[in-house]
Structure 1
Amino acid sequence: MPDVIVVGAGPAGSAVACHLARAGLDVLILEKTTFPREKVCGDGLTPRAVQELVALGVDVEDPGWFRTAGLRLVGGRHRLEIGWPGGSLPAFGLTRTRRDLDELLVQQAVKAGATLREGTKVTAPLRNRTGQVAGVVAGGREHHARLVVAADGASSRLSVATGLRPRPDRPIGTAARRYYRSPRHDDAHLEIRLGVTPAGYGWIFGMGDGTCNAGIALLRDTRADCRRVLDRWLASLPADRALTEEHALTPVRGAALPMGFSRQPHYAAGLLLVGDSGGMVNPFSGEGIAYALEAARLAAETIGTALARPTAAQRERALHRYPAALKSAHGGAFTLGRACAQAIEHPWVMRLAARHGLARPVLGRIAVTVLAGMGDPCGRRAPDRLAAALARITPAS
């Protein structure tokens, strides 16, 4: 019997499995699809995500990565370029398709000692006599374990089956993206375009291989058709972007963005949630991979500590520290993000932000550092210190 079953082999699931296997635990990963497989994402990785990849032992010097130097924010007639902060974080970001990234991360977990079973769909949790989750039903058979980690995405059927449903007071955004052959494929800045729609933005991320990932994120619940919004926005861009139908390489694909800890608690009765299953997407920026990787590390540390305890009561007390650790790490930033995402639904707020934020580099840098979690957590610059301070004093929820 494995120590831990991880359901889902996206970035969060593969990362927690890798950390656990390296710590000497017996880990089984159950993935319903087979690799390689597509996932809807912007494919942009911030330095925070890069730092987690390095901790997992991923070779970020591999030629399959494309390095980025920072963000470019465009709103109305204004644009602002912000370099990655460096300091205790890597001084660069990366792009890579999720088709490649997810397979690379699960291979890293397997190299660390985890067992992967692809094409194995989990259909139900198993509970012991005390009501604790003690395994899952998958592939027509029972799989028992001491703990189970739900990393099965935004819908997280495993979480729903155990009674953990999304909170009604948390936003569920939507995103759509498409790949294009573009001369801007080697742009070193991740371009974010504001004002495309209220409480949303468009992105153009160079992949360094002759293609760009172009998409749109709607950060609040809306009835708007994300794919139609994407089509209209792309049609408005300059022709030199080459983001047109004749240059398209893939269909438009969409996905949900579960934000701001939309499903809680993150630990209950033998089940831990990581990544999209726990709604770990920043409500302001729409970024999820960095938070998923960080949560995976925190979950692995918690599990390792808990399973080393001699009694069931001591193990439970240790496991219940995981939600508190998550809120300490991200709760303040997510609360700020929700408030700001709600504010920019008003067009006048967005116009004001574009006019005064992007036109004033210092103000724009501070806003992005605080709200998008872009700062160096150990940095000495004023924006980084302000971001850390605001995250600490904002109540986590």
Structure 2
Amino acid sequence: MEHWDVVVVGGGPAGAAAALAARRARPSARVLVLDRADFPRDKVCGDGIAAEALDVLAGLGVDPATVTDGYPAVPRLRLRSPGGATVERATARPSYVIPRAVLDARLIAAAREAGAVLRRQVVRSVVVHPDAVEVDGSVTAGVLIGADGAESVVRRAVDVGRNRPDQLAVAIRGYAPEPPGQRGVQVITTTEQRWPAYAWSFPLGDGRANVGYGELVSGGATRAALVDGLQRLLPGVVADELRAHRLPLSTGRPRQPDGRVLLAGDAASLINPLTGEGIFYAVLSGALAGGAAGSGADAGAVYRWALAGRLGHHLRHSSVASGLSRWPVFMDAVFRAAAASQRVFDDVVVLGLADGRLTLPALAGAARHLRPPASAGE
């Protein structure tokens, strides 16, 4: 039976970052990445990459220019609240929109260049022993990192259950011709119908846009409802090959278990509950997991503390903000405040796309712009 110091299940952004970090922390470490697919391969996602995700990758030795090559910066963001309040501003730092078929292939290539080994394998069983973790009866690992997405086999193997329906979203995504006037602008538009729900349109810079629509599973989402929501919020947009995926939100994240098995990215329910953003969380949690992997039997505790120290305050703030966002009148007030203040806009963006917090200027601005809901017939 083969033995590796670190085995990573899943070669997406979380898995690639974990492999990079494990090799960076201990250059002699034997690191194996297992993925069910060959690369490049598509992955259902909004494709938005925040600048903070590139910062994490740079810290792992990956030049951001090699990640974004061929895809222009997207410097502006347009938001529409459930009640129709709209704001469009330049973001403090531009984002990028890179198809996952491209992004994931570039990141796993960087991991391989750093010395990790990639192997195609569908992982079916994980058995935890006191001194190692056994995978499919053929490979053992000193530490196993589960970066295998929302339906994680690794997560199930350590008896971590799925998120509740009110902590789980589902979205559809496709590609469409870029709508007129959207070049350089990411668009997120929300609605009171089936709230909380929103649609997005993110331009790739090649005449196409990544478009999609998502809502909570607890709302009784069906494919027909998702398609209807997309067409209702983005009228005139005709997307091809609409595919659905689940988003385990961070409001339902489990406690990282002790021991030799770590969970990162979607497998750890690290999806922003406000925006559905997951790439920043994926590369950050992957990097922290890879850095902790050298701790062997103590890796789970080391990783848990590292994750809490780096993201704990943000995750608590995003959970509170998610609770407040269940009232459309509050979201309307926040968007009006963002339209009135660049500072509030910037605070809202970093809370939804990276590791920001609920700030006093944002809360005070929302309080100033609160208005009672319109009565029936108005």
In the alignment, which residue of structure 2 is the partner of 1:38? Answer: 42
Q: State the match for 2:160 in structure 1.
A: 164
**Partner-residue secondary structure (3-state), 1:104:** helix
Q: Which amino acid letter does the alignment assign opposite residue 88 of structure 2?
A: E
- State yes or no: 1:195 paired with 2:182: no
Q: Check the 8 A contact 1:369/1:375 in 2, yes or no.
A: no
| C-alpha deviation, 1:126, in angstroms | 2.8
What's the TM-score once normalised by structure 1's chain length? 0.80
**Higher RCO (C-alpha under 8 Å, 6+ residues apart):** 2
Is 1:149 the counterpart of 2:162 in the alignment?
A: no
Q: Give the secondary-structure state (helix, strand or coil) at the position aligned to 1:164.
A: coil
Residue 52 of structure 1 deviates from its aligned partner by 2.1
In 1, Cα distance between equivalents of 2:128 and 2:233: 54
2:201 corresponds to 1:204 = yes
Residue 69 (1) aligns with residue 69 (2): no
Q: Assess if the C-alpha contact under 8 Å between 2:127 and 2:157 holds in 1.
A: no
CA contact (8 A) 1:260 1:335 kept: no
Q: Which amino acid aligns with 2:90?
A: G
CA RMSD of aligned residues (A): 2.9
2:292 corresponds to which of 295, 299, 302: 302
How far does residue 208 in structure 1 lie from its aligned partner after superposition? 0.7
Q: Give 1:52-67 correspondences, 5 Å limit.
A: 52-56=56-60, 57-60=62-65, 63-67=69-73
Q: Which amino acid aligns with 1:216?
A: Y
Give the deviation of 1:99 after TM superposition. Answer: 1.1
Gaps of 5+ in 1: 86-90, 308-314, 387-397
Structure 1 residues 71, 175: CA separation in 2 closer, same or farther (over 3 Å shift)? Answer: same
Residue equivalent to 1:80: 87
In the other structure, the counterpart of 2:376 is: none
Contact 1:358 1:364 in 2 (8 A): yes
What percentage of aligned pairs have identical amino acids? 29
Q: Which of these residues, 199, 215, 219, is aligned with residue 212 of structure 2?
A: 215
| Structure 1 residue 186, shift from structure 2 partner | 6.3
Tell me: CA distance 1:227–1:333, structure 2 relative to 1, closer, same or farther (3 Å).
Answer: farther
CA contact (8 A) 1:283 1:338 kept: yes
In structure 2, the residue matched to 1:265 is 255
**In the TM superposition, what is the alpha-carbon distance from 1:382 to its structure 2 partner?**
8.4
Question: How far did residue 181 of structure 1 move?
Answer: 1.9
| AA in 1 matched with 2:148 | D
Distance in structure 2 (CA, Å) of the matches to 1:165 and 1:96: 31
Instruction: Name the structure 2 match of 1:98.
Output: 100
Measure, in 1, the Cα distance between the counterparts of 2:234 and 2:146. 40
Deviations for 1:136-187, whole angstroms, at most 9, x for unmatched residues? 11xxx51011111011111112221221223549701111111012254962
- Listed as ranges, the gaps of 5+ residues in structure 2 are 365-378
Q: Which amino acid aligns with 2:282?
A: A
Q: Secondary structure of the equivalent of 1:293?
A: helix
Aligned AA for 2:91? W
* Secondary structure of 1:146 counterpart: strand
Q: Determine helix, strand or coil for the equivalent of 2:65.
A: coil
**Structure 2 counterpart of 1:135:** 134
Q: Is the 8 A contact 1:366 1:383 kept in 2?
A: no
Distance 1:268 1:284, change over 3 A: same
- Find the counterpart in structure 1 of residue 320 from structure 2: 339
* Counterpart for residue 304 of structure 2: 323
Task: Answer yes or no: is 1:113 the counterpart of 2:93.
Answer: no
Distance 2:167 2:302 in 1: 25
Matching residue of 2:348: 368
SS class of match (2:40): coil
Counterpart of 1:127 in structure 2: which amino acid?
V
- Conservation of the 8 A alpha-carbon contact between 1:133 and 1:269: no
1:284 to 2:274 alignment: yes
The residue aligned with 2:370 is: none
Q: Distance in 2 between matches of 1:99 and 1:297?
A: 21
Structure 1 match to 2:367: none
**Partner Cα distance (2:278, 2:327) in 1:** 24
Partner of 2:225: 228
Distance change in 2, residues 1:185/1:15 (3 Å) = farther
| One-letter code aligned to 2:316 | T
| Compared CA separation, residues 375 and 165, structure 1 to 2 (3 A) | closer
- Name the CA distance, whole Å, in 2 between partners of 1:238 and 1:124: 45
Q: TM-score, normalised by structure 2?
A: 0.83
Change in 2 beyond 3 A, CA 1:233/1:167: closer
Distance of aligned partners of 1:335 and 1:115 in 2 relative to their CA distance in 1, 3 Å threshold: same
